[in-house]
Structure 1
Amino acid sequence: MVRIRLRRMGAKKKPYYRIVVANQQSSRNGRFIETIGTYDPLTEPETVSFDEARAAHWLSVGAQPSDAVARFLRKANLLDESGKAIGLAEAAEDAASASTDAAEPSVDAEPSVEVEPVGA
């Protein structure tokens, strides 16, 4: 499963975090797929910045946010209080209906094939 979580950076006693998309099996500071933002808890007020489009993309493909990242996403109105992505269900339904419409071939037009006899 893919998770959106914090990756600790910075020095001892001076934490700084990157918001990353990583496989759940990877260690906290191990391999990751993509960096989508940063979080600095030492500034007053705390500084959080992330690419909302990329976060929405990863939520739409099923990535699960950690508790801390879910709190940031709720403040950015990308998640509702229950933890579900806002507006992604409708977008997924629209994409699914568009793909089924495109997948159906048109039956009206039959291809015309001319057959010529061999050796005539």
Structure 2
Amino acid sequence: MVKLRLTRLGRKKAPFYRIAAMEALSKRDGKAIAYLGSYNPLVEENGVVLNEEEIIKFLKNGAQPTRTVKSILVKSGVWAKFEEAKKGN
């Protein structure tokens, strides 16, 4: 099963995350199928960069987001676009 989840980068006490499509049983920072965006929790504005078309493509093909990734997608509006695309098909 493919999951959309976060991989950690950055130094100690300064986290930076990538949103990645990975196999569910792989390690947190293991090899990813694709990197779909980034999330910087230390930046209040514009800390999220997403590749919306790729994310929607993975979601349509059955990828499951983790709770944290889903909340990022909901806040950025990508989840609503996915729901609309799902209704349209």
TM-score (norm 1): 0.67
Q: Secondary structure at the match of 1:44?
A: coil
- Greater RCO, CA 8 A, separation 6+: 2
Higher strand share: 2
Q: Secondary structure at the match of 2:62?
A: coil
Which of 77, 81, 85 is equivalent to 1:88? Answer: 85
RMSD of aligned residue pairs (Cα, Å): 1.5
How many residue pairs align between the two structures? 88
Q: Secondary structure at the match of 1:87?
A: helix
Give yes or no for contact 1:77–1:86 (8 Å, CA) kept in 2: no
Moved >6 Å (runs of 4+):
none
TM-score (norm 2): 0.88
Structure 2: any 5+ residue segments left out of the alignment?
none
Q: Computing the radius of gyration over CA atoms, which structure comes out larger, 1 or 2?
A: 1
Matching residue of 1:5: 5
The sequence identity of aligned pairs, in percent, is 35
| C-alpha distance in 2 between matches for 1:2 and 1:76 | 21
Structure 1: any 5+ residue segments left out of the alignment?
94-120
CA deviation string 1:49-85 (max 9, x = no partner): 11000000000000000111101111233325xxxx4
Q: Secondary structure at the match of 1:10?
A: strand
Amino acid at match of 1:90: K
| C-alpha distance in 2 between matches for 1:76 and 1:5 | 16
| C-alpha distance in 1 between matches for 2:56 and 2:34 | 13
| C-alpha distance in 1 between matches for 2:54 and 2:68 | 17
